[in-house]
Amino acid sequence: MSTPPAGAATTGGTPSALAEPTARVGVWWTTLVALANLGLWMGYFGPLQVLLPNQAQAIDPAGKTTFLAVATGAGALVAVVVNPVAGALSDRTTSRFGRRRPWALGGALLGAAGLGALAGGTTLLAVVVGWCVAQAGLNILQAAVTAAVPDQVPVVQRATVSGWISVPQSLGVVLGVLVVTLLVTGNAPGYLVTAALVVALTLPFVLASPDPRLRPEDRPAWSWRSFVARFWLSPRAHPDFAWAFATRFLVQLGNALATLYLLFYLRDEVRYEQLFPGAKAEDGLLLVILVYVAVTVVATVVGGVVSDRSGRRKRSVVVSGLVMAVPGVTLAFWPTWPVVLGSAAVLGLGFGVYMSVDQALITQVLPTAADRGRDLGIINIANSAPQVLGPVVAAPLVSTFGGYPTLYLAVAVVTVAGSVLVRNIKGVP
């Protein structure tokens, strides 16, 4: 674990751990980070898309929507706190193994422990506690892996690398669902296999990825007051960072609203099991995800390459957001199986471009190199906070204010709003 760092040269007396990278990273490094991301997103989406909804239905069939909203909302609230704190602590870590890798390993193990606990959950309290532990661990892992990109990858390569690294996010959705629907049967085995995969896919990154060590003398002096105060970044002092946060928050809120009840939507609105006697709604969900992922993978890679060559990030974010809003309208008015498949393809096109370009854009508006982990942890609140707000908004929309049509129209409105806000960023073309 003492391999010298790739792409993190010392310049002008700046410690290597804090220097802006200049050397391009290769396929090996990108593969290691991609594998860790694959385990991370399988840990998120296998439970979110299948295991938690089925657990909610088994424990409380009548109150399944509220049950799921409480469990996922509580876990997301934990994520909001843990991700930036873990990122900030990793910024200060002086381990001989580097700043990010110890946190990645610890996060993977804690996340696996939470998933293992969920395997035996038979009450709402047990599910909430297990998912909160899993979210804490997975967010520690995410904070470490996300910070590795600006640590190691130069700006001119970031959209391309972000595109390849984002592919596992899409694959994590389909593989996570595939594992818990086809490869194993039952919720308990699904959780246990997912837990093992999170650890196994993170280990190559922990063991072989370069990670420059921060020397103790280069670490800022410690105080609790200054540590807490550093989590506030003034929008006036850092407007581009604030607009990037707002953009991601709204787009991810749209995504949270769209996916929370997707299994229930197929079962109750599209009536998949009546259309195809003998089939389960989970089978339909897997087909939807396969279509979505196939389009997303291509769009992510191509979008990243095009963005790096043109250098223009904002235009791609705006267009991708408008494309992602289209499925919200189609799902609201036409709850039919062919429309669901077509909507999945359109959503994959928009989200694929968005994932590659938005991540590269955000790394260009980070306030300081010394606080990359903290700043990306704050940005990751824009991923986690919508998971808290999403259930609060989605549950009453579905149960009281018009049902699924209202929910998916809200998805379209929120996504368009988020994509347009990116135009306010001034420091990135």
Q: Residue 160's domain is classified under what CATH number?
A: 1.20.1250.20
Would you say residue 316 lies in a domain?
A: yes
**What is the spatial distance between Cα 315 and Cα 403, in angstroms, rounded to a whole number?**
34
**What is the spatial distance between Cα 227 and Cα 387, in angstroms, rounded to a whole number?**
26
Collapsing DSSP states into helix, strand and coil, what is residue 142? Answer: helix
Contact 197, 171 (CB under 8 A): no
Split into its structural domains, the chain has a count of 1
Would you say residue 220 lies in a domain?
A: no
Kindly give the confidence (pLDDT) of every residue in the chain, 429 residues in length, as a single tens digit, with 9 standing for 90 and above.
Answer: 434 344 344 445 567 777 778 888 888 999 999 999 999 999 998 898 889 999 999 999 988 888 988 998 899 889 888 988 998 899 889 998 999 999 999 999 999 999 999 999 999 999 999 999 999 999 999 999 988 888 888 878 887 887 787 778 778 877 888 898 888 888 999 999 999 999 999 999 999 988 888 888 888 676 667 766 667 777 888 899 889 889 989 988 888 888 778 889 999 999 999 999 999 998 998 899 889 888 988 888 787 777 777 667 788 888 888 999 999 999 999 999 999 999 999 988 988 888 778 777 887 887 876 677 778 878 878 877 776 778 788 888 988 888 999 999 999 999 999 888 888 888 776
Would you say residue 429 lies in a domain?
A: no
Which residues span the domain enclosing 262? 27-213+226-424
DSSP 171-229: HHHHHHHHIIIIIS-SHHHHHHHHHHHHHHHHHHHHHHS--PPPPGGGSPPP-HHHHHH
**What is the spatial distance between Cα 49 and Cα 72, in angstroms, rounded to a whole number?**
11
Would you say residue 153 lies in a domain?
A: yes
Would you say residue 42 lies in a domain?
A: yes
**What is the spatial distance between Cα 142 and Cα 138, in angstroms, rounded to a whole number?**
6
Would you say residue 118 lies in a domain?
A: yes
Would you say residue 393 lies in a domain?
A: yes
* Alpha carbon 167 to chain centroid, angstroms: 12
Would you say residue 17 lies in a domain?
A: no
